Amino acid sequence: MSIDPSLPLAEALAAAITMAGPMSIAQFMGAANAHYYASRDPLGTEGDFVTAPEISQMFGELIGLWAADLWDRAERPPLAWVELGPGRGTLTADALRAMATAGLTPPVHFIETSPVLQAAQRTRVPDATWHRDASTLPDDVALIAVANEFFDALPIRQLVKRDTWHERLVACQDTLFLPIAGKPVPDDIVPSSLRAAPVGSILETSPDSVQVMRAIARRLTVQGGAMLAIDYGYDGPALGDTLQAVRGHAYANPFDAPGENDLTAHVDFTTLAAAAQSAGGVVWGSVAQRDLLGGLGIDSRTSALARASPARADALLADRNRLMDDMGSLFRALAVTAPHWPTPAGFA
């Protein structure tokens, strides 16, 4: 389906639907998020949401030490650092500082398509190399890849149960967008345990997420290394409509003002794990973010920073609690390693 780039996005989507009929949730979400991220820095109190690296330096530091420990136990091979959807570059900047204390100073590669966010990343990690996707990453060294709140923003498909399962589509009246049930889909694309679900049930899949995970896992299998994916989600399969929009730190209607809200959906870590395994990766987890950060020593790090800066002790504890309590169970972590690489810390 062709979308006219010369028109405001809502008008372009409405025109495309008028010409070709309702579009999939995945097409709508993909177009909306591409415009959204290309046109703004959505992070921070002045933006629409805050991620863990923006809450506390401890988050990126602990991930950096996670990577350095794994690299050390893998006998210190030549290595490149990769972050998918690196936001402002804060996580990588904090991780690099921590990794350097262990002797690891890898070249940095960012997978990022937003020119606005690339500019922000350049101020924090000026020597990085930018890529549109994984196809141009280095192929002659091991990789440590990190994806924090990356998979949740990739497009999803939705199926809705009526008399049988139907693809959920987006229709339009003027510029009012609304979801409808489209044509039936074959039962065999629905997990057998969910086929008899009640009428009105919704099943989500993310083919783009599977494609990205397979691409990274194939590289790890050949080149060596590991990937750490952290996001809010669940171990599936499961039913439920998790598509949501955030604007100004508040929830919005995901079908209103396309391109002006951050659209996300919960991540099915079981599907990500299966995608990695199908490409030869070894999977660890998923585990709750609370368990990962606890295993990596967030309490010790909080205490050390508080001793070094007593005036910040209360703020540091509040940040620790936000990462461990507020986000600790909602967010999960999945690790993928090359065959024969060591067990990653936090997943034993």
- Token couple for 337: 């390693």
Task: State the pLDDT confidence band at 103, using cuts at 50, 70 and 90.
Answer: very high
pLDDT at 7: 87
In this prediction, residue 315 carries a pLDDT of 95
d(CA 320, CA 304): 13
The CA-based dihedral angle spanning residues 44, 50, 53, 56, taken in that order and rounded to the nearest 10 degrees: 80
Please say whether the beta carbons of 334 and 235 come within 8 A. Answer: no
Condensed to tens digits (0 to 9), the pLDDT of residues 199-248 reads: 999 999 999 999 999 999 999 999 999 999 999 999 998 999 999 999 98
CA dist 27 and 265 (Å) reads 14
pLDDT at 175: 78
Q: What is the predicted pLDDT for the residue at 146?
A: 98
How would residue 5 be classed by pLDDT, with cut points 50, 70 and 90?
Answer: confident
Q: Which residue has the higher pLDDT, 193 or 292?
A: 292
Residue, of 47 and 208, whose pLDDT is higher: 208
318 pLDDT band (50/70/90 cuts)? Answer: very high
Q: What percent of the chain has pLDDT over 90?
A: 91
Average pLDDT of span 246-275: 95
227: its two tokens: 């990937």
pLDDT digits (tens, 9 = 90+) for 128-174: 999 999 999 999 999 999 999 999 999 999 999 999 999 999 999 87
- Give whole-number Cα distances, 16 to 23, 38, 208, in Å: 8, 21, 22
Least confident of 16-30, 36-50, 175-189, 279-293: 36-50
Contact call for residues 207 and 157 (beta carbons, < 8 A): yes
Q: CA dist 195 to 165, 167, 192, Å?
A: 8, 14, 5
Strands 267-268 and 331-337: unpaired
Q: What average pLDDT does range 316-334 have in this prediction?
A: 95
Taking residues 311-336, what's their average pLDDT?
96
- Residues 263, 179 contacting (CB under 8 angstroms): no
Residue 314 φ then ψ, to 5°: -65, -40
Of 47 and 27, the structure prediction assigns the larger pLDDT to: 27
DSSP category for residue 49: B
For residues 177 and 22, give the distance between their C-alpha atoms in angstroms, rounded to a whole number.
10
Q: How far apart are CA 32 and CA 170, in angstroms?
A: 12
Check whether 1 has a pLDDT greater than 70: no
3-class state of residue 15 by DSSP: helix
More confident residue, 7 or 178: 178
Tell me the CB-side half-sphere exposure of residue 347, using CA atoms within 13 A. 20
What is the gyration radius of the CA atoms in the chain, in angstroms? 21
Q: How far apart are CA 321 and CA 347, in angstroms?
A: 21
- Band (48; pLDDT cuts 50, 70, 90): confident
Name the average pLDDT for the chain.
Answer: 95
CB 71 within 8 A of CB 103: no
